[in-house]
Amino acid sequence: MSFSVVIPARFAATRLPGKPLLDIGGKPMIQHTWERALASSAEAVYIATDDERIREAAEGFGAKVCMTATTHRSGTDRIQEVATQLALPPEHIIVNVQADEPLIPHEVIEQVAANLATHPDVGIATLCEPITDKAELEDPNAVKVVLNRHGHALYFSRATIPHSASTSAQNCFRHVGIYAYRVAVLNDFVTWPVSELELAEKLEQLRALFNGVEIHVEVSHLRIPPGVDTQRDLDAVRAHLAGR
């Protein structure tokens, strides 16, 4: 199985400006994420950014950096530009690892790439985890996914789905935002207009479903620690890596 990892990183962030470069244990956050990706069997790991500060820091710790346009609306658009710059073939697999995932296990990067490689009928693969906490079930920030018997996504939503899960957290899964794409799908994806479902849910993956792309979803083999969205998250990661 051959795949590459691309880590899209932007400097601007509403709640944590300069997030990729925030210090965690003496290293910028993005270096932790890069090191996790490097521990996988990916043939290459790239950081994709439009910011010179991130480029300078990333090259400083030895990362390969692809400078991209400042006009991209999402990390997916940025990743597709990287695939074009590198002239990657249509069948090549790219795993999108978010820059604010400094604790992501390299095993789940392997899992999502293998998931796509072993399902030639789908264009995108991703992961999920069972929801057992009713508070999480009702949290719109926890994206839910329902699957068919083949493990293909039927729908993603911020609402509680299926409806029966509102009384009991059974057969309910939280989507984990790591993706593997075939380059051919990325090339198509960036040409499609934003769909109404995507706008309603604020979930980019619904654009793929709307346009008929099958998304295969596996339950993660390992628990995936939360990423960093807030100062509280950042403090928790710092404490975890400090051994507290």
pLDDT digits (tens, 9 = 90+) for 15-26: 788 999 999 999
For the chain, which residues score pLDDT lower than 50?
Answer: none
Distance between CA 79 and CA 47 in Å, rounded?
9
pLDDT at 54: 97
Structure token pair of residue 131: 């929801």
Query: What is the tens place of the pLDDT at every residue in 195-240?
Result: 999 999 999 999 999 999 999 999 999 998 888 988 999 999 999 8
Q: Could you tell me the fold of the domain covering 3-224?
A: Spore Coat Polysaccharide Biosynthesis Protein SpsA; Chain A (3.90.550)
Percent of the residues in the chain that have a pLDDT greater than 90, as a whole number = 79
**One-letter identity of residue 180:** A
Take residue 99 and report the two structure tokens written for it: 């820059």
Note the pLDDT of residue 170.
62
Residue 229's pLDDT is what?
86
